[in-house]
Amino acid sequence: MSLPTNPASPDSSLPQLRVDGQPVPHRVEGRPAAAEDNTVLLSGDVDLSAQAPWATAGFAVVPGLPGGLQAALQAGLAELLREALRNVGCAVAPDFDISQYHRVIGDDAQRHLAVIAQTKAYELARLPVAPALLEALVSAACGQPVRAYNPNVQEAVFHLRIVRPHRADQNPLHRDAWLPRYRHALNIYLPVAGSTAQSSLALVPGSHHWPESDVERTAGGAIFHGVPYTVPGVLRPARPLELMRPNPGPDEVLVFSPYLLHGAAANLNPDATRVSLEMRFWRA
């Protein structure tokens, strides 16, 4: 599904969102959750950002893997996406530029969802570099040891996020921690292809310390621009929302708290799909 062409379209259910000062549409549907109190969700959970110099903002862009390892990781992840495309009948070449994913898939929703079914969760054994490398990177960034193992559901996985240009492929504005399986964690966003100042992940700095009463959300999964998602989405905030895209470069990694409000910002690249690695880490 394509997003509205007018970024200031009045069909948004929120007071207009702004990302780096630019208005963006944000149409969310869903049954409102029960009224919340002034509880700060993170205050009762493990806060893996608490010891970091970026604890107040809730995120940081840090140097990526050294010595060509990040490039090797990105190349291996690109091949995983090519494999997923071939599995759904797309005859892509070994050197296919995955930022052109949208040209191969187009608006074929069934085929796109068949790709997403493969890329939404990979066993950690399929990561193109040793998981311990990323665990060490994130441990250094947050100042305490972490591992890529989710004790909430006893699994170790990573995800490839695929966001086509001007399509409703991104999540609504949300906290990952609204889903119990993602609580007590720390996230990374690592660019693989097409990640730019017009497409990379957007977030609200400092919002990991906002009380739940400041954000009205859906009771269950939200419908965002007509597309259903499993995560609840923001319906109405009690304060202005100014999002930003930290925009890590190809040799960098964005580390951020899953309690931050993030998502919502479309890929505004004119002709490039954004592909990124998403992983979560818990206290070792």
Residues 145-157 have pLDDT tens digits of: 999 999 999 999 9
Give the residue-averaged pLDDT of 39-67.
Answer: 97
Buried b (16+ CB within 10 A) or exposed e, 189-198: bbbbbbbbeb
Confidence label for 232 from pLDDT (cuts 50, 70 and 90)? very high
Q: What is the pLDDT of residue 255?
A: 98
Confidence label for 233 from pLDDT (cuts 50, 70 and 90)? very high
Beta bridge partners of 63: 252
Give the residue-averaged pLDDT of 6-13.
Answer: 37
Q: Are 256 and 213 in contact (CB under 8 A)?
A: no
Q: Are 147 and 281 in contact (CB under 8 A)?
A: yes
Give the residue-averaged pLDDT of 197-225.
Answer: 95
Residues 31-46 have pLDDT tens digits of: 999 988 999 999 999 9
